[in-house]
Structure 1
Amino acid sequence: MNPSIRTPTVSRRALLGGAVALSTAALTGCGGGPAAPAPGPGSPRRGGRLRAAFAGGGANETLDPHLANLFNEASRAKAVFDKLADYGGDVSIVPRLASGWEPNADLTRWRVTLREATFHDGSPVRARDVLYSYARIADPKRAFRARASLALIDLPASRAVTDRQIEFALVRPYAEFPNLLATFGAYVVPEGTENFDRPIGSGPFRFDSFQPGRSLLLGRYDDHWDGAPYLDELEYLTGNEESARINALLGGQVEYAHDVTPTTARTYERDDRVRVTRMPNSTMQGFTMKVDRPPFDDRDLREAMFLLTDRQQLVDTVLSGAGQIGNDLYGKGYQYYADDIPQRTPDLDRARFLIDRAGARGLTVKLDTAAVASGFVEAASTFAEQASKVGLTVVPTTGNKDTYWKDILDGGVLACYRSGAMPIETHISQRLLTNSTTNATGWARPDFDALYVRAISSADEGTRRQAYGDMQRMLHAEGGFLIWGFADFLVASAPRVGGVAADAPANTLDWARFDKVWLG
């Protein structure tokens, strides 16, 4: 094995991914009167039931962690189950069920050691549980979100060395292997599990009862490897509107309201019934241009689009200032991010020149949008106004929110886009390689693909950093992602709730995590 990449403890800063969708009746029917005012959460203490309001997916909600997609499902999964690794508060990869990992010399085999942990029925977490879970996720007959990421693992050639040690064989050298262990949805379940009506996991909370589309009640698992939660019970409640979540919090029917808007945060910033926690850099905000078809197969026109964009105006209007501007690159502030590339600023004269050189003066372009994410429709409208200043007519067109992501993957030429956190390497592999399954911009460059292979095949940090930098310089100069901003994520809680992490972008380990939360 190669000691130079031995490191579960070495920071591999990264970014990661997410989506949302809530019955007001469930919130208003959860019982309990207004909570008594509390001076503050104080020191951690044990006891009590925390009621958390999330957007929900209706009667089709599932407790199968490999099917988790919505924010409430992702939070529930981390409460009941564990992954081998996850993204820490600084979005670096940190060990969870895995206590460590180590590659061989050519990065084609990685040995992972499991910590001593148990499932809720008392049975130990073993290597074969991990192999079964990964094989289930990787089954081509299933539609599990993590399947594409685990495709790099040659599961038939992987093996359990002992009950607590696994040797993973890979289909090619891969220096970023720990990213796979932390991938969204890669939870470990007991070998042979297919029924999740009463799920058994190794997470900090154990199952009690479930009403799809309404509530999930969990109890503390006293034998969790990372220590028992402070809470006795955790109850997830769902409703359809943000207003339902915040009103339930104000009325004392819940203690935690997930995903509130900047407008709501400002409205209640002086209200002693509400504490708002800001999670910076949680979602990338932007537009996709299809570079493989007219009109954006013209590099001059793509550059003009970059230069006509007033990013600060978009952050101020669409995000109400709750975010920071982007530079047409994913992963601002994280490992391998090319922060040496100068920040783009509006240059309308240069944009007009490039539009004329592309023969696009007076061009009309449809901009696909939909109410699938907060601010999409507003972003489309603001961008259309900006484009009109340089002689382009951008026509926002609202599509079907139920099929939006599928529709814009292969169709259209310009679309609103966003992404949750994931490693820059994962963003590239899933969205920017010639054979990527979610290549929404149609970017296909053999020289770019070769740089990616160079990066993931090298054990040398400097070589990887140089390759990722070169890829980002190519994308910044001529790519199809117009990334105008990075949004903060906001949650609201009662003042007596302690332990809500403030430095956890959405979908990282400490986001929507309740085993370290307490009631004061």
Structure 2
Amino acid sequence: MKNKISKSISILLVLFLMVISFAGCNGSKDTGAIGDDKKQDEKKVTYLYVHATNTLNPHLKASGNIPIRTGAVETLVRIDEDLKLKPWLLEKWNSKDAKHWEFKVRKGIKFHNGTSLDANIIKANIEACIKNNPGIKNALNIESMEAKEDILKIVTKKPNASLPSEFVHPNTAIIDVNASDIDTKPCGTGAFKVENFKPNSSIQLVKNDKYWDGEVKVDKVNFEFNQDANARLQALQSGYADIIFKPAAESIETLKKDSKVTIDTMPGLRTNELLYNIKKPLTGNEYFRKGLDSLINRKEIVENIMSAQATIAYGPFMEGLPFSIDYKKNQFGLDKALENFKKAGLTVTDGKVLDNSKPIKLKVVTYASRAELPPIAQLVQSNAKKIGIEMDISIVEGENVDNHLKSDDWDFCVYSLLTAPRGDAGYYLNSSIKPEGSLNHGYINDDKLTAIINEFNSCIDETKRNELAKQATTIINKKNYNSYVAYPNVIVAYNNQRISNWKTSPSEFYMITKDLDVK
């Protein structure tokens, strides 16, 4: 009798579990299964990004701006869709002389661990950033800080009208600096919390139920790194990924034919360039740089290599911005290149360029995480070979390129960088052109340029600042300190059957947001 009862109970239990399983497969939300309803209702998104990082400490350059892109951390100031500065964790700021500043902290904001945001924590963040990030230290140029409740006072060593915009930079994101595991689980104020981090692989994020700026729509985000554009494309097409950043340009037309995929493409604030090492005897010569510039077929690069997902560039800033100039259109052609190489003091024999009767061989560096860069290098290499100049191309990991350039064992680098991520010229001029700039890998040191940039930094009037930026850009282009090649579009592809409220950011800073949703 006991065995019969046990057998009957077992059969009933199996039948019950089968019913639950069947109901679950049909997506019913009224099955009565313990704990299953919540899991079925969870909104999850898988996002594939390009560049990897081994740290999530936003203050470190090595973080690659990833923390802010995940929606886990936020900055004091942000840039809106119209490239205008907007207070974020701040309420407002003011200064009468661009040297003495007062910042008012927004009230009612808490970190993921419940700690309240105040001026003292912000001061501690800025101090940590200055200690760990030389580029930010140089940009902020702070003499002293004083914090009390919700007011932070800052005095800069020199007038710096760009100071509020410096706080747009993702490396200045605010975290609880007293929390543990800053490198793997930074405790920010953002819409999402870091649940798990596998360095150089993936980040698992969960929604911040107590987010200060409204309801967060998505419950979980799987943020993965993959530098292979084809792999990202296959992940989207197979349904593994919901959103991919920067699909290969040549795949755009194919994706457009897929009704389930939306391609969101827009002009960005990035510039692809040839970054010259001014320390080297050849690339330190203005006319040699102009000769190399004449080997760049910009039209072919934009139309073929970048599949028309870019605009031809002749300067650091896209034309139409208030601080951009009307660029002289550099002439492409072997004859023009030879003319410039002669002006550089080189000899040309039978259409071949020689330096002291010896062939020229240049070391070129680039990286593949931006898929168009190696082909650009190869195109320049092919054109140079026609006039006897050899180029040895080294391809390094994208996240390691800046460190590689410190070695000085290179002549030029095919490089890509954000030139106007804050909506003005200040970021590029200070980081890439001033001698102490964190991205001045080419060692540009031009006294006249530096003087103009210093005046730009101390100037409060926007019209005058734009005029000074134009003066600086004119010199940069006249000297051909870099060769600007293309302004790539920001391209994102996503599954429109699942994803809603995706917004592509021209600055590339804001990706996973509170408004991102699943249908």
| TM-score (normalised: structure 1) | 0.81
1:113 lines up with 2:114 in the alignment? no
2:377 match? 380
1:322–1:233 distance in 2 versus 1, CA, 3 Å: same
Classify the secondary structure of the residue corresponding to 2:141. Answer: coil
Which has the greater radius of gyration?
2
1:69–1:265 distance in 2 versus 1, CA, 3 Å: farther
2:518 match? 519
Question: Among 127, 148, 157, which residue is 1:171 paired with?
Answer: 157
Amino acid at match of 1:265: I
Gaps (5+ residues) in structure 1? Answer: 1-31, 36-45
Instruction: Describe how 1:279-358 pairs up with structure 2 within 5 A.
Output: 279-327=266-314, 329-333=315-319, 335-346=321-332, 349-358=335-344
1:472–1:495 distance in 2 versus 1, CA, 3 Å: same
1:371–1:442 distance in 2 versus 1, CA, 3 Å: closer
In 1: Cα distance, 2:197 partner to 2:340 partner: 58
1:91 match? 83
Question: Among 181, 187, 208, which residue is 1:195 paired with?
Answer: 181
Given that residues 67 and 145 in structure 1 are in contact (C-alpha distance below 8 angstroms), is that contact kept between their aligned partners in structure 2?
no
Tell me the matched-pair count. Answer: 463
1:228–1:186 distance in 2 versus 1, CA, 3 Å: same
1:451 match? 452
1:499 match? 501
Given that residues 326 and 332 in structure 1 are in contact (C-alpha distance below 8 angstroms), is that contact kept between their aligned partners in structure 2?
yes
Classify the secondary structure of the residue corresponding to 2:503. Answer: coil
Post-superposition Cα deviations, 1:288-331, rounded to whole Å, max 9, x if no partner, equal 2233432233333333333443211121232122100101x212
Classify the secondary structure of the residue corresponding to 1:485. Answer: strand
In 2: Cα distance, 1:416 partner to 1:239 partner: 21
1:312–1:145 distance in 2 versus 1, CA, 3 Å: farther
2:14 match? none
1:111–1:270 distance in 2 versus 1, CA, 3 Å: same
Amino acid at match of 1:420: L
1:173–1:271 distance in 2 versus 1, CA, 3 Å: same
Shift of 1:476: 0.8
Post-superposition Cα deviations, 1:464-507, rounded to whole Å, max 9, x if no partner, equal 222211111111111320011111132221113112224x2253
Higher relative contact order (CA 8 A, sep 6+): 1
1:49 lines up with 2:44 in the alignment? yes
Amino acid at match of 1:73: I
1:176–1:71 distance in 2 versus 1, CA, 3 Å: closer
Given that residues 170 and 509 in structure 2 are in contact (C-alpha distance below 8 angstroms), is that contact kept between their aligned partners in structure 1?
no
Amino acid at match of 1:513: I
Amino acid at match of 2:47: A
1:236 match? 223
1:180 lines up with 2:153 in the alignment? no
Greater per-residue helix proportion:
2
1:471 lines up with 2:492 in the alignment? no
Amino acid at match of 1:358: A
Shift of 1:170: 0.7
Shift of 1:108: 0.8
Given that residues 310 and 489 in structure 2 are in contact (C-alpha distance below 8 angstroms), is that contact kept between their aligned partners in structure 1?
yes
Given that residues 84 and 188 in structure 1 are in contact (C-alpha distance below 8 angstroms), is that contact kept between their aligned partners in structure 2?
yes
In 2: Cα distance, 1:465 partner to 1:453 partner: 13
1:408 match? 405
Instruction: Describe how 1:61-80 pairs up with structure 2 within 5 A.
Output: 61-67=54-60, 69=62, 73-75=66-68, 78-80=70-72
Amino acid at match of 2:418: G
Amino acid at match of 2:307: S
In 2: Cα distance, 1:350 partner to 1:253 partner: 50
Shift of 1:233: 2.4
In 1: Cα distance, 2:291 partner to 2:460 partner: 39
Post-superposition Cα deviations, 1:100-150, rounded to whole Å, max 9, x if no partner, equal 11113x2111111111222223332100110111111111xx3x4753455
Question: Among 131, 134, 152, which residue is 2:141 paired with?
Answer: 152
In 1: Cα distance, 2:64 partner to 2:459 partner: 35
Amino acid at match of 1:371: Y
Post-superposition Cα deviations, 1:355-380, rounded to whole Å, max 9, x if no partner, equal 22333231424141343432222111
In 1: Cα distance, 2:321 partner to 2:195 partner: 40
In 2: Cα distance, 1:94 partner to 1:398 partner: 41
1:115–1:247 distance in 2 versus 1, CA, 3 Å: same
Gaps (5+ residues) in structure 2? Answer: 1-23, 28-40, 355-359
Instruction: Describe how 1:255-270 pairs up with structure 2 within 5 A.
Output: 255-270=242-257
Classify the secondary structure of the residue corresponding to 1:66. Answer: coil
In 1: Cα distance, 2:388 partner to 2:173 partner: 47
Shift of 1:348: 5.1
Classify the secondary structure of the residue corresponding to 2:468. Answer: helix
Amino acid at match of 2:121: D
Taking every aligned residue pair, what percent have the same amino acid on both sides? Answer: 16
Shift of 1:444: 1.2
1:112–1:297 distance in 2 versus 1, CA, 3 Å: same
In 2: Cα distance, 1:321 partner to 1:133 partner: 42
Mean CA deviation greater in 117-126 or 67-76: 67-76
Shift of 1:56: 6.2
Classify the secondary structure of the residue corresponding to 1:243. Answer: helix
Amino acid at match of 2:46: R
Classify the secondary structure of the residue corresponding to 1:226. Answer: coil
Shift of 1:260: 1.3
Given that residues 279 and 506 in structure 1 are in contact (C-alpha distance below 8 angstroms), is that contact kept between their aligned partners in structure 2?
no
Given that residues 366 and 413 in structure 1 are in contact (C-alpha distance below 8 angstroms), is that contact kept between their aligned partners in structure 2?
yes
1:219 lines up with 2:206 in the alignment? yes
Given that residues 309 and 387 in structure 1 are in contact (C-alpha distance below 8 angstroms), is that contact kept between their aligned partners in structure 2?
no
Mean CA deviation greater in 172-181 or 396-405: 396-405
Shift of 1:69: 4.2
Given that residues 298 and 358 in structure 1 are in contact (C-alpha distance below 8 angstroms), is that contact kept between their aligned partners in structure 2?
yes
| TM-score (normalised: structure 2) | 0.81
